[in-house]
Structure formats: C-alpha cells, structure tokens
Chain A
Amino acid sequence: MYSVWNDFLNLIFPARPFCPLCGEHSPDKNVCGRCRSTLDSYLLEHRCRKCGRFPGKGAVLAGSPFEHLCFECRKHKWPFALARAVGPYEGILKDSIHRYKYARRRVLALTLAPLMAEAYRAEPLYTEIGLILPVPLSGEKLRDRGFNQAALLAKELSVLLQIPADVRTLVKKFETPPQAGLPRAARESNLKDAFDMIKAEKVNGKNILLIDDVFTTGSTLSAVASVIRLAGAKHVFGLTAATGRYF
C-alpha cells in the first residue's frame, strides 16, 4: 500500500531531472556524479569506530582508521553499540537535511534513506537487527512540522532493508528546548526522562536499529537508547543521515 501511494505521488508530483542533494541538472533524477563522489570520499575518511563521527581539522589521529576511537568514546560509555552516518553534517548533506526538516521537503526521505541503507550495508558490525525504531518527536513538535523526519527515514529503510519498523513504540513525552547550541551536560539533563516506550515487549531481546537525522553530540541517541535498553533490548545500533565532527 505504501509503495502504491508513493507511485501515485510520483505520478502527480514527479521528480524533476535535478540532483535532490545539490539541485544541479541530473538526467536520471538521482544523486548527481559530483555529489556521488563527495559521498564516496566520506567512505575513505577516518571515523570513530564507536560513534561514527568524523575527525575535524586538527584532531589527532593514530593507527588505522577503523581502529580509531574518538576522545569522547574513550572516556564515555554509550548505551548504544555503535552509530554510523552517511557523512559529516556539512555541505550538501547539511543543506539537504535543512530542506528536508525545515522546508518540509519530505520527498528527500526517498534520497536520504537509500544513502543510509548504503552506510548500513557498508558496516559489517550491524548484526541481526530485529526492529527499526525512529527517534520520536513530541506531540507538539509533530503537529507543527507535520511529520517526524526520523520516522519517515525509518519507514523507507524498513522497505529497503527488509526489516520491520515501528514508528509508534517510542514516544517523547514533552517538548524539550532545542538541543542545538547547548553544551553537552545541558543536553543530557535536557533530555532526562523525556522519552518513553509503550509496548516495551516489542523490543525484548532484539537488536534495535535506532534512526535519527543528525548525530551531533550523541545525547539524543543515547537518551533514547538507554530507554530501549531498559525495556529489554539486546543491543541498540544508531544510524543517522549525518554526523558531527570531533576535535
């Protein structure tokens, strides 16, 4: 049904022959060659083997890229097993996510989700995922925006990866001040008790793939992941469209 609806939408709002990420002309309506090579270059970059973030300019690197562990992950224990992203939150990805979230171009989920699926497949450590869960929005925010950006990605990924997704199990009970611009400690206390699960039995003993749009400091992802862990999930893995850089 979902795909019939999408086909219908594609009929009356067909994709234009432009790259969905950068807007340049692209005859096959898909990510254009330049964006493709940018994305591919991210694969060659170093990244933290735990949180998946990319090292920024001046970050000290040692050893082989995949053994690399960022400073944060060395001193901090995350409730999730690991997190990965398509690329750093900058350039085309940042622009696209802005258009996706704030200009409400939901159609971009159809571009971002396949890229995330690629990132998922490139990471051998994702094992036996039993359920995909999106990071929830509070009811107020959902009404305002009209859609949950993470839930749309989760639904698309569910189709692409052939793994069931559940967009209703996780809830955000109240609206918290925006995370953007807050220091780490404030972010964590900000989110304390904000998330909850209904039907906790759904995650029992499963490996969970947690979806969000951006991983900045990891506070949101870890707050949700702890809730899921408490509900009895085995492991929680994170997957986001973009991730931050560390220094």
Chain B
Amino acid sequence: MNRPLVVLAFFFAAGILAGEAANIQSSTALALAFFSFFTAVTGCILAWKENRRVILILFFLLGMVLARIEAEKVETQLAGYTGQRVVMTGRVMAEPDVREDKVFYPMQAQELIKAGERHAVSGTVRLQASEASQVFAYGDVLMASGLLIRPEPAGNPGGFDYRTYLERHGIKVVLLARGQDAVQKTGIGGSNPFLNAALKLKQKLSAAATASLTPSQSAVLNGVLFGTQGLIDRDTRWSFQKTGVVHILSVSGLHVGLVLGGIFGLMRLLRLPPNLTAAVTTPALIFYALMTGLNPAVLRATIMALLLVWAHHLGRERDWPTTLAFAALVMLAWKPLELFSPGFQLSFTATWGILYLGPVFTGTFSRLFKNLPGNMALPAAQALSIPLAAQMAAVPLVAWYYNLVSLVSIPANLLAVPLVGLVMGLGMFAACLGMLWLPLAVFINASTAAVLDLFLALIGIFQRLPGAVVYLATPPLLLAMAWYGALTAAAAAYNGWRPVCLQRLKGWVPAGAMTFVVVLLIWWPWGGGNRLTVHFLDVGQGDSILVQTPGGKNMLIDAGGRPGEFLSGSGTGEQVVAPYLRSIGVSRIDALVLTHPHEDHSGGAVFLIDNFPVDLAVVSTTGDAGNKGDSGVSEGASDIPDGYKALLDKIALNGTPLQVAESGDTLRLEDGVFIEVLAPKEDAVQKEQELNNISLVLKMTYGRRSFIFTGDVESEAQKELIRTDEVLRADVLKMPHHGSRTLLPELLEQIQPEVAVISVGAHNTFGHPSLYTLDLLDRCGARVYRTDQDGAVIVQTDGNYLKIWTGKKRD
C-alpha cells in the first residue's frame, strides 16, 4: 500500500467502533495491545514478512483501548448523587458555552457538600447556570449549588440523545444551578496558559463586535470569526442549515483557509523570507484553533493546513489522503469518541468529497465551460465543483442527522463564500483596531454590518425559494454505504481504472457480494406492507400520536405543545413532532385531529400547519368558532384559548378543510382501517364547563385489533362514554388525561385493554400519572407504557399480532 497512514487510520477508527460496541475491560484490551506491540517490535527486529499485519492489529487494539478508557472515564461516584441537591466545588476546565438564557460550564469536580458533609470527588460535570448575569472564565474555581441530574436519553427514536452526547464528552451528570447566587467564584485553579491567553484574546477581540453591532449581527460575526455559537438564534442557524451554508456559521476549514491566506498576504506585505512561512504560520494557526475552541472541523483544517505548509517547507510532495488520515489519527488519539460526533464525520466526509470528487467535477465542468471567454473556464468549474463535491459527499450524513437536503446550497455557497471572506477580513480588522481604540472598530464595523445584512438577506432569499430544501427520512445504513460505494466507483471509473486496482479489487468481489446479500436479507423490509403503526410520541407533558396506515396515510392525533406555543409557534411542534415526522419520512399529514383546545395538545399544530401540507383538520365541536360564528360557540367554552381560535383561523386560511366531529361520525382514511368518533355528544357539550371533557374520543379498528384514543376526558365525559351503546373494548388504550386520578374503573372494565399508554411528561407539576390510576391499571392486568419513562411507544399490528417497541430503555 502506498499510504500506510490511511490504512492505519482506518484500523484505528475500526478499533474505536469495536471498543464502543464491545464491552470489554480497557485493561484486557491494553494487555492485548501490549502483546501485539511486542510482537510487532520482535517482528521488526526479525524483519518478519507479515509484520505489517501485526501493526494493523496493533492500531485496531489501540483504538479499542482508547475508546474503552474514554468510556470508563465517564464513570464517576457523582452518579450516586443524582436527583439530589448538592453544593459542588470545581474548576472550569474549558471555555464556557454562553447561551441567551443560560451558561454551560464544563467543570472538573473537586468537592461535594451534601447535608453538611464534605466529600472529595472527581469527575466531569456540566454545570448549567440559569439566570446568571455573570459569566465566569476558564480556569476559575466555582462553587455551585443545585440539583444534580443525569441527562435524559432521546425519547423519540432518532431524537437528540443528550445522555449519550454528554457521555461522549466524558460527562455523566449535569448540575442545574438556578438563581443569581447559585454559582460563586471561590478562586482560580490551574489552567493552560496558552489556552487561557487565546481565550482572553478572543474575549477582547469579540468585544469590538458586541459593542458596535446589533446583538444578532454580533452573534453571527463572532460565530463566523471565532466560532462562538451559543448566542446565534435558532432561526438564523436553521436558515443556514436549510441553505447548506451552516459550515460558514461555525468556524470550519474555510475559515482556517482564509486565515492562512491572510497570514500569507501579511508575510508578503512585510517582505518576510519565504522560508519563514512555516515557522510563522504554525503558531498562528495553532493559536487560532485554540481560540475558536478546537472543534473538529477547525482541528482537521488546522492539521491539514500545517501539513501543507510543512510539506512545502520540507520540499515534500503533499499527499491529501495521507494528510486527511493523519488529521484523523491525531484527533482520534486525542479524543477517540469524537468519531461519533456529527461535526467530525461531516468535516471529514465533506473534505474527502472536495478532494476526491472535486477534481472529477472540475474536469467535467471545465469541458462544459470551455467556450467561456478568457481563462474563466477553470475557475468557474472549480467554484461550482467544490460545493457540489462537498454536498454529494455529505448528503447521507446530513440526511441522517438533520433529515434534509438543501437544493440551493451550491448557489448559496457561491455567493456566501466570497462574502464570508469579506466579513472575516473586515471583522478581524475591526476587532484588532477595537483593541486599540473602540470608535475605530465602530467605524469599520459600519461596513461589516452592511455586508452582514446583505449576507443574511441573501441567505433569507435562498431559504424562501420554493423547493429550497427537501426533507428526507433517515436513510438506512445500507443505502448510505451504497451511496459512498457508488461515488467512489464513479470517480474511479472517471479517472480510469488502473489495472493494479482492478486486480486488487477482483479478490474482494465475492466477499463484497456475500456481505451485500447478507445485509440485504437482514435489512429487507419483508412483508412490511400490511401493517398499521401507531406512534405515541414523547412530547413531554402533552399528547401527540401518529397513526400510519398500511397504505401510507398519516393521521396525527394532537401535536403536543408547551406553554406559550400558541403564540410563539415554536416549541414541541417545531422541535419534537416535526423532526420526528421528517425522520420517518412523513411529508404530509392526511388528517390532523385536535382532540381539544388545550395548549399541550394543540400548541404544536401551529408550526405543523405552516410547515406540512395538511389535507384535513378534525376538531372537537366547541372549537368550531369559525363555522358557527361567535354566537355559535357554546357558553361553556368561554375559556377557549385565543391562540386556539387563531390556529383554527390559520387552518381555514391555509385552505385546509376544517371538519367538526362528534360522536357517531366516522373518518375514512383508508379501506380496512375504521375510525369512529365516540365522543363528544353534541348535547353533552352544551352543558360542559371543562374543556377536557369535550375531547374527541376515537376508536380505530384494523383487522382484529383496535385502539382507543381518549384525549383528556375526565370523569363526566367518561360516564357519557360508558353510557353509549358503542362497543368500547379495545386492545390498546391511550389513557385519558395523562393518567390523572379522574379515571373511572368502569371504563377500564369496559375497554379491557391489553396495553395502556400514558402520554405524560417527566417531573410534571400536575402529579400525573396518579398512583390510584396506576394501581387500577395494575389490577386490570394491562401492560403499561409511559412516555416519560419509555420515550416514544410504537405499536405495530398486522391486524392480528401487536408488536411494541419504545424509544428508550427504562432506567
């Protein structure tokens, strides 16, 4: 092999994967690694022919050892204090992450006071300080009092897994500190002087932007210049994401390249001899990387840039696959679990794409453009091919993590990248001048602001273009692998297969084909066509249930919601329900059922209505403000939230048919799936005071299995239900009102559920679900699933058998 480092890096990464998957002791792995190390040394001395295989195994084992050590390092005695209020002293071990309403400190715990007793402790904690006006610095020793918790894993499949995310960063517990005095500085601990200097400088430099620009502008500028992410608001980030230019917002390879170019320009200007280039660039780039927080993209770009500079200095030819592999090896040796971070994966695949696929596209485009005047063909081809290559390589990952593909990313990048160069140049200039005299920075930043506004306006235009973004379901692993295989093969075919490669490949063809067939057999969705799936989503306190019929129709019963979501339109709908729908490939809602007007059921619909095509909205009678006119609303429903009325208006405005349902109605989604409305009765609604009791109650039957969705009905409405002639018996019961006390035992007797699902938020203030209810359920023998403990509950049936799986494992 021509590139030993590439192979070594692959084996090292494979070792890390194995270390994550296999649960062996790091000491065992270490012993194995030592053994293979000595074998390798012996082999080296004896000049053994097969020694390279030993070295490969050695790297595999090293990866495994490091991954295991990282995994074991997370374990800390602090986990024993979770759920308790403690006072903890510790050192801030990295730059704090400042958000709009809170600050995250990665803290090295030193001492813990619990009930007056002092305990010496060790381990890493994430301190979350809310409502804190003062931000402490790297290296400070803080004393914080608060609640120690373990972060929650993802509730819904594919959702953000906070627990794993933090554990991969070596953090097992989070200390929640609220209030002004909850966090106090008690001293200054040890800190790395270089890092400290870099962070101090960054703070001074970013002060110029903060002082001279609007908060949103300065957040973007400081993000672009120094990678400060916390203060950029979600909408801005999301629009960058949707236009495929999010790499601009956080410091990435592009920025390192621009900084490198800036240094070269300065050196030229100062007439420094070229053989000093490497010596000057090295500390400057390292300092910049430290300043911007050493995120994976920066680290990768810095290592690769340094190798480029030093290759030139040492008169070597640079070989990019080796450079890329070297960067990966260095980063993974330092932090093995970075392998799993999206930033690491995206940075490396995009770079691979630019370097491997880029030349192919450039070749093709420059042939297409050969009629362009002057020497424009090549630059034009390169400008197009770089973003295209990066996107082609990153598509599976972006679809995997964000469930979207931006179709405007190429034009957006073409316009944005030069502007970013301008913004960085101006911003850096202003930041440096600002350290001398602030008004100078204000002067320069007047033009920076203009460029920034133009930049953000352009992004906004691109984002609003029709078809700018396509939402994709999370791709199966096999598809992603096939994509990369096809890309590699296509590029290789374009470059012309070398006979050597072909010969080498021939040996692998049978093995590859075997693997493909095996994987296909395992993954093929055998006979998945006739199943009905009901997803009880984990939306915190609230309800949201997605029904997917065998024919692919989607019915959403409620959309969750947090307090204030009617007004703001962002919350559960945007952050939980929509991402989940997108991740499983739901792009339109055939029926949106809002059981009743409460915000924890209907709030999320505000976002969904605007972002998904909805074919039919079904609401409960009382909510029918639009059709009957103001007088038509029953007197009892005077407390209908205004937000709900606005939502109904919006639905009508969007042209979505709004259907008011009451008992006796049926909903025909698809043949074979019968959905009937059991409640409310119209006469019952008139005298009802409580909104919960006008909830739509649906019963859905498919084959021999049935589901009953009871909304929030309380005792009164339950009594009505029992009195009806309808057959209530059902296999799966969505427990009424989040499992509150107001459950009639008679209702359970009539339904006789095999499975009961309680949609409820953890630590809710209503005391849901009540012990009384749980006890009743226990006695009737139903299997109980709770979204607060199980995460999403997904029930699938072919009409005969029920298959149930959950979003997370119970603790």
Q: Which residues of A contact B (CB under 8 A)?
A: 9, 11-17, 25, 27, 29, 100, 104-109, 143-147
Contacting pair A14 B3 (CB below 8 A): yes
List, in ascending order, chain B residues with CB within 8 A of A147's CB.
275, 315
Contacting pair B312 A104 (CB below 8 A): yes
Q: Name the segment of B12-20, B317-325, B564-572, B790-798 touching the other chain.
A: B317-325
Mark out the residues of chain B between 580 and 612 whose CB falls within 8 Å of any chain A CB in the assembled complex: none
Query: A106 with B314: in contact, given A14-B319, A14-B322 (CB under 8 Å)?
Result: yes
User: Which 4 pairs from chain A and chain B are nearest by CB?
Assistant: A106-B315, A146-B275, A13-B316, A107-B316
Contacting pair B315 A108 (CB below 8 A): yes
Query: A146 with B326: in contact, given A11-B4, A12-B307, A29-B2 (CB under 8 Å)?
Result: no
Question: In the assembled complex, how far is the CB of residue A193 from the closest CB belonging to chain B, in whole angstroms?
Answer: 26
List, in ascending order, chain A residues with CB within 8 A of B273's CB.
143-144, 146
B313 proximal to A (CB < 8 A): yes
Question: In the assembled complex, how far is the CB of residue A140 from the closest CB belonging to chain B, in whole angstroms?
Answer: 9
Residue of A nearest to B312 (CB): A104
Mark out the residues of chain B between 397 and 455 whose CB falls within 8 Å of any chain A CB in the assembled complex: none
List, in ascending order, chain A residues with CB within 8 A of B509's CB.
none
List, in ascending order, chain A residues with CB within 8 A of B314's CB.
9, 13, 106-107
A29 and B315 CA atoms in complex are apart in Å by 17
Contacting pair B319 A13 (CB below 8 A): yes
B269 proximal to A (CB < 8 A): no
Q: Per a CB cutoff under 8 Å, which of A14, A25, A109, A144 touches B4?
A: A14
List, in ascending order, chain A residues with CB within 8 A of B311's CB.
13
B211 proximal to A (CB < 8 A): no
Question: In the assembled complex, how far is the CB of residue B275 from the closest CB belonging to chain A, in whole angstroms?
Answer: 3
Q: Per a CB cutoff under 8 Å, which of A25, A106, A144 touches B316?
A: A106
List, in ascending order, chain B residues with CB within 8 A of A106's CB.
314-316
Question: In the assembled complex, how far is the CB of residue B144 from the closest CB belonging to chain A, in whole angstroms?
Answer: 44
Question: In the assembled complex, how far is the CB of residue A202 from the closest CB belonging to chain B, in whole angstroms?
Answer: 27
Question: In the assembled complex, how far is the CB of residue A218 from the closest CB belonging to chain B, in whole angstroms?
Answer: 27
Query: A14 with B275: in contact, given A104-B312, A105-B316 (CB under 8 Å)?
Result: no
A17 and B499 CA atoms in complex are apart in Å by 14
Contacting pair B2 A146 (CB below 8 A): no
A100 and B317 CA atoms in complex are apart in Å by 11
Query: A143 with B275: in contact, given A11-B4, A13-B322, A17-B2 (CB under 8 Å)?
Result: yes
Query: A14 with B2: in contact, given A143-B273, A146-B275 (CB under 8 Å)?
Result: yes
B500 proximal to A (CB < 8 A): yes
A-B contacts at CB below 8 angstroms, number: 60
List, in ascending order, chain A residues with CB within 8 A of B3's CB.
14
List, in ascending order, chain A residues with CB within 8 A of B323's CB.
12
Question: In the assembled complex, how far is the CB of residue B10 from the closest CB belonging to chain A, in whole angstroms?
Answer: 15
B456 proximal to A (CB < 8 A): no
List, in ascending order, chain B residues with CB within 8 A of A16's CB.
2, 317, 319
List, in ascending order, chain B residues with CB within 8 A of A17's CB.
2
Q: List 6 A-B contacts (CB under 8 A).
A: A12-B323, A13-B314, A14-B2, A25-B498, A105-B316, A146-B313
Question: In the assembled complex, how far is the CB of residue B322 from the closest CB belonging to chain A, in whole angstroms?
Answer: 6
> Which of A105, A109, A145, A146 has the most chain B CB within a 10 Å cutoff?
A146
List, in ascending order, chain A residues with CB within 8 A of B500's CB.
27
A17 and B313 CA atoms in complex are apart in Å by 22
Residue of A nearest to B498 (CB): A25
Q: A17-B2, A105-B317, A144-B273 are in contact. List 4 more A-B contacts (CB 8 A).
A: A13-B311, A13-B317, A16-B2, A25-B498
Question: In the assembled complex, how far is the CB of residue B784 from the closest CB belonging to chain A, in whole angstroms?
Answer: 59
List, in ascending order, chain A residues with CB within 8 A of B315's CB.
100, 104-109, 147
List, in ascending order, chain A residues with CB within 8 A of B317's CB.
13, 15-16, 105, 107
Residue of B nearest to A25 (CB): B498
B782 proximal to A (CB < 8 A): no
Residue of B nearest to A18 (CB): B317
Mark out the residues of chain B between 244 and 280 whose CB falls within 8 Å of any chain A CB in the assembled complex: 273-275
B286 proximal to A (CB < 8 A): no
List, in ascending order, chain B residues with CB within 8 A of A9's CB.
314, 316
A107 and B316 CA atoms in complex are apart in Å by 5
Residue of A nearest to B325 (CB): A12
Interface size on B (CB < 8 Å)?
A: 22
Question: In the assembled complex, how far is the CB of residue B311 from the closest CB belonging to chain A, in whole angstroms?
Answer: 5
B618 proximal to A (CB < 8 A): no
Question: In the assembled complex, how far is the CB of residue A71 from the closest CB belonging to chain B, in whole angstroms?
Answer: 37
List, in ascending order, chain A residues with CB within 8 A of B294's CB.
none
B5 proximal to A (CB < 8 A): yes
List, in ascending order, chain A residues with CB within 8 A of B274's CB.
144, 146
A172 and B801 CA atoms in complex are apart in Å by 92
Question: In the assembled complex, how far is the CB of residue B335 from the closest CB belonging to chain A, in whole angstroms?
Answer: 20
Residue of A nearest to B278 (CB): A146
List, in ascending order, chain B residues with CB within 8 A of A15's CB.
2, 317
Question: In the assembled complex, how far is the CB of residue A164 from the closest CB belonging to chain B, in whole angstroms?
Answer: 24
Residue of A nearest to B326 (CB): A12
List, in ascending order, chain B residues with CB within 8 A of A107's CB.
314-317
A108 and B316 CA atoms in complex are apart in Å by 8
Q: Per a CB cutoff under 8 Å, which of A11, A104, A144 touches B5?
A: A11
A161 and B695 CA atoms in complex are apart in Å by 94
List, in ascending order, chain B residues with CB within 8 A of A105's CB.
315-317
Query: A14 with B5: in contact, given A107-B317, A144-B274, A146-B275 (CB under 8 Å)?
Result: yes
List, in ascending order, chain B residues with CB within 8 A of A12's CB.
5, 307, 322-323, 326
Mark out the residues of chain B between 756 and 784 whose CB falls within 8 Å of any chain A CB in the assembled complex: none
A75 and B375 CA atoms in complex are apart in Å by 54
Contacting pair A13 B318 (CB below 8 A): yes
Mark B274-305 against chain A: 1 for CB-CB distance below 8 A, else 0.
11000000000000000000000000000000
A104 and B498 CA atoms in complex are apart in Å by 30
A109 and B314 CA atoms in complex are apart in Å by 11
Question: In the assembled complex, how far is the CB of residue A48 from the closest CB belonging to chain B, in whole angstroms?
Answer: 32
Question: In the assembled complex, how far is the CB of residue B233 from the closest CB belonging to chain A, in whole angstroms?
Answer: 42
List, in ascending order, chain A residues with CB within 8 A of B326's CB.
12
A20 and B500 CA atoms in complex are apart in Å by 20
A25 and B497 CA atoms in complex are apart in Å by 13
List, in ascending order, chain A residues with CB within 8 A of B322's CB.
12-14
Question: In the assembled complex, how far is the CB of residue B805 from the closest CB belonging to chain A, in whole angstroms?
Answer: 47
List, in ascending order, chain A residues with CB within 8 A of B275's CB.
143-147
Question: In the assembled complex, how far is the CB of residue A113 from the closest CB belonging to chain B, in whole angstroms?
Answer: 13
A145 and B3 CA atoms in complex are apart in Å by 29
A12 and B317 CA atoms in complex are apart in Å by 10
Question: In the assembled complex, how far is the CB of residue A30 from the closest CB belonging to chain B, in whole angstroms?
Answer: 13
Question: In the assembled complex, how far is the CB of residue A146 from the closest CB belonging to chain B, in whole angstroms?
Answer: 3
A163 and B5 CA atoms in complex are apart in Å by 33
Question: In the assembled complex, how far is the CB of residue A142 from the closest CB belonging to chain B, in whole angstroms?
Answer: 8
A147 and B322 CA atoms in complex are apart in Å by 25
> Which of B275, B315, B323 has the most chain A CB within a 10 Å cutoff?
B315
A29 and B143 CA atoms in complex are apart in Å by 61
A150 and B316 CA atoms in complex are apart in Å by 17
Question: In the assembled complex, how far is the CB of residue B310 from the closest CB belonging to chain A, in whole angstroms?
Answer: 8
Residue of B nearest to A143 (CB): B273
Question: In the assembled complex, how far is the CB of residue B5 from the closest CB belonging to chain A, in whole angstroms?
Answer: 6
Residue of B nearest to A106 (CB): B315
A12 and B318 CA atoms in complex are apart in Å by 9
Residue of A nearest to B318 (CB): A13
Residue of B nearest to A17 (CB): B2
Residue of A nearest to B307 (CB): A12
A220 and B156 CA atoms in complex are apart in Å by 78
A105 and B316 CA atoms in complex are apart in Å by 6
Residue of A nearest to B313 (CB): A146
A108 and B314 CA atoms in complex are apart in Å by 11
List, in ascending order, chain A residues with CB within 8 A of B498's CB.
25
Question: In the assembled complex, how far is the CB of residue B41 from the closest CB belonging to chain A, in whole angstroms?
Answer: 15
Question: In the assembled complex, how far is the CB of residue A39 from the closest CB belonging to chain B, in whole angstroms?
Answer: 21
Question: In the assembled complex, how far is the CB of residue B476 from the closest CB belonging to chain A, in whole angstroms?
Answer: 36
Question: In the assembled complex, how far is the CB of residue B154 from the closest CB belonging to chain A, in whole angstroms?
Answer: 39
List, in ascending order, chain B residues with CB within 8 A of A144's CB.
273-275
A144 and B5 CA atoms in complex are apart in Å by 32
Mark out the residues of chain B between 624 and 651 whose CB falls within 8 Å of any chain A CB in the assembled complex: none
Question: In the assembled complex, how far is the CB of residue B238 from the closest CB belonging to chain A, in whole angstroms?
Answer: 40
Residue of B nearest to A99 (CB): B315
A108 and B326 CA atoms in complex are apart in Å by 23
